[in-house]
Copies of this chain bind each other. A is one copy, B any other.
Amino acid sequence: MSPEEFRKQGKQMIDWIADYYENVEKYPVLSQVKPGEIIGQLPTNAPKESESMDQIMSDVNSIIMPGITHWQSPNFFAYFPSNSSGPSVLGDLLSSGLGVQGMIWATSPACTELETRVLDWLAGMLQLPGQFKSTSTGGAVIQDTASSAALSAILAAREKKTNYKTNDSGNSGKLVAYVSSQTHSSLEKAIKIAGIGKNNLRLIGVDENLAMRPDLLEIVIQADLKAGLSPFFVCATVGTTSTNAMDPLTEIGRICRKYELWLHIDAAMSGTAAISPKYRHFLNGVELADSFSFNPHKWMFTNFDCNCFYVADRSVLIKTLSILPEYLKNQASESGAVIDYRDWHIQLGRRFRSLKLWFVIRHYGVSGLRYHISEHVRIAQEFAEWVISSDDFELVAPAPLNLVCFAHKNGNDFNRKLLETINANGKMYFTHTEVNGQYVLRMCIGQTNTKEEHVRLAWETIQETAKELSS
């Protein structure tokens, strides 16, 4: 495709996306297709000859669009937001257009240095302690997901505890890690991947707010030490996926210091809230952590993928993940004056992801980000008030920020039916979780364009549907 043709087709694609944003509320939020309905419309074999962009876009409209669940609809309240924004999409487009590889500094110095600076900006915006900045002992890297960040943290912790010998000799079978029963499933997956085994992952019990109990954590660590095992890693969560529970970071951090365990903090969605001074207190205790990660691709208007992974001591991470074959050697790396981000994550190749983050932060400004985040929290808190004031519904867990967990008083089967009925209608989309055997409805409010009117309409829909199902 020539530059001239790209110019023409690119502008048509921009128009298509702008039209989509204007009309996104007209689509059913949850795709209503049946399994196999999309694939059944696609030819079995690749086309032998070239097809036109018009043909392709015609299929996008007729075949692909019915199979889209609209994460960018303001009526999307499911799982977690994976929000986005114009400047983010444009930053990502620029990244695609430049098509550079940032695996080492030399393969595009701007890709490394912009990333370092923007992540230092974010450290300041979240008031992270000084050691997490690149100008101190630590630093940060953009990873694809919080899953990969957690795996990287576990690997660094594993090597630190075993004096970098597991990388050489393999896992010894003595290492033990700790999470709460509410911690994201990616931690269990990472423990398996790292060769440690889920039998060596302890699920610590939680309190009435579903937050990890530090007293139980310490008891279990002591028991493991007594059994000759080697406790090495704790993951504390700021805002669990299920109910947005807040683990007590300071108390957990003190235990980690006492027993020399690596503390990783997973703040995937809720970390963004700390940009606003009103919500910064949820990160109190982060100064005791060895690593911290959150996802601007969840709630900070930055399209997937963009996880920010901070470490207090970069030398441990680099020593854990560094490999230097001859064909990657170069003067800049050998001088030690540059960062090679390849040594900060699992993959070797990497795209220029900091562009979209830079675009977002500059477009909104810190004050703009604070405003939008605070608005989401305000609306969610209002929704929680409506639930509390209602005769038929109840709040099931504390709602510290933008996630409200609630249930109709008619029991599990009724709530399941209520959820499925509403989602099948297409006007909104929300999902569920389970809390102590109870089927719980989740309203997660964080899509870029979600306003009070959308949440009000959602609440009306929920109430009306519940009434219809009750009668």
Q: Of B1, B89, B93, B168, which one neighbours A85 at CB under 8 angstroms?
A: B1
Q: Give the complex CA separation of A7 and B170 in angstroms.
A: 54
A205 to chain B, nearest CB (A): 17
Interface presence of A374 (CB below 8 A): no
Q: Give the complex CA separation of A414 and B419 in angstroms.
A: 71
Which range holds the interface residue count of chain A? 35 or more
Q: Are B185 and A323 in contact (CB under 8 A)?
A: yes
Measured CB to CB, the nearest residue on chain B to A326 is B434
Interface presence of A361 (CB below 8 A): yes
Chain B residue contacts of A66, Cβ below 8 A: 110
Q: Of B167, B349, B364, which one neighbours A144 at CB under 8 angstroms?
A: B349
Measured CB to CB, the nearest residue on chain B to A335 is B35
Q: Are A346 and B346 in contact (CB under 8 A)?
A: yes
Interface presence of A145 (CB below 8 A): yes
Q: Are A51 and B106 in contact (CB under 8 A)?
A: no
Q: Of B35, B144, B172, B434, which one neighbours A338 at CB under 8 angstroms?
A: B35
Kindly name the residue among A44, A99, A303 whose own CB sees the greatest number of chain B CB atoms within 10 A. A99
Q: Are A323 and B188 in contact (CB under 8 A)?
A: yes
Interface presence of A226 (CB below 8 A): no
Chain B residue contacts of A433, Cβ below 8 A: 326-327
Chain B residue contacts of A431, Cβ below 8 A: 327, 330
A442 to chain B, nearest CB (A): 7
Given A15-B7, A50-B363, A89 contacting B97 (CB threshold 8 A): yes
Q: Are A363 and B327 in contact (CB under 8 A)?
A: no
Given A365-B47, A365-B50, A1 contacting B87 (CB threshold 8 A): yes
Interface presence of A383 (CB below 8 A): no
Measured CB to CB, the nearest residue on chain B to A368 is B50
Interface of chain A residues 429 through 444 with chain B (CB within 8 A): 431-434, 442
Q: Give the complex CA separation of A329 and B106 in angstroms.
A: 44
Chain B residue contacts of A359, Cβ below 8 A: 56
Chain B residue contacts of A6, Cβ below 8 A: 14, 17-18, 21, 86, 89-90
Kindly name the residue among A4, A166, A192, A297 whose own CB sees the greatest number of chain B CB atoms within 10 A. A192
Q: Are A31 and B366 in contact (CB under 8 A)?
A: no
Chain B residue contacts of A200, Cβ below 8 A: 169-170
Chain B residue contacts of A88, Cβ below 8 A: 96
Contact indicator per residue, chain A 157-179, by CB within 8 Å of chain B (1) or not (0): 01000000011111111010000
A14 to chain B, nearest CB (A): 3
Q: Are A50 and B242 in contact (CB under 8 A)?
A: no
The segment out of A147-155, A284-292, A389-397, A461-469 that lies at the interface is: A147-155
Helix, strand, loop or mixed for chain A's interface? helix
Interface presence of A258 (CB below 8 A): no
Q: Give the complex CA separation of A332 and B188 in angstroms.
A: 24
Given A100-B68, A122-B46, A337-B36, A348 contacting B147 (CB threshold 8 A): yes
The segment out of A113-121, A211-219, A450-458 that lies at the interface is: A113-121
Q: Are B9 and A98 in contact (CB under 8 A)?
A: no
Q: Are A20 and B98 in contact (CB under 8 A)?
A: yes
Contact indicator per residue, chain A 275-305, by CB within 8 Å of chain B (1) or not (0): 0000000000000000000000100000111
Q: Give the complex CA separation of A169 and B363 in angstroms.
A: 49
Q: Give the complex CA separation of A2 and B45 in angstroms.
A: 40
Q: Of B16, B31, B169, B347, which one neighbours A108 at CB under 8 angstroms?
A: B31
Q: Of B69, B199, B442, which one neighbours A327 at CB under 8 angstroms?
A: B442
Q: Of B92, B167, B324, which one neighbours A192 at CB under 8 angstroms?
A: B167
Q: Are B82 and A99 in contact (CB under 8 A)?
A: yes
Interface presence of A198 (CB below 8 A): yes
Interface of chain A residues 56 through 85 with chain B (CB within 8 A): 56, 60, 63-72, 78-79, 82-85
Q: Which 4 A-B pairs have the closest CB atoms?
A: A195-B195, A67-B110, A1-B86, A170-B197
List 14 contacting pairs A-B, 8 Å CB cutoff, sorted by A: A6-B89, A10-B86, A10-B89, A31-B106, A31-B110, A35-B335, A46-B121, A48-B367, A56-B362, A67-B113, A84-B96, A170-B197, A189-B323, A304-B351
Starting from the known contacts A83-B99, A158-B195, A171-B195, 5 additional A-B residue pairs (CB-CB under 8 Å) come to: A7-B14, A13-B14, A51-B365, A67-B114, A89-B93
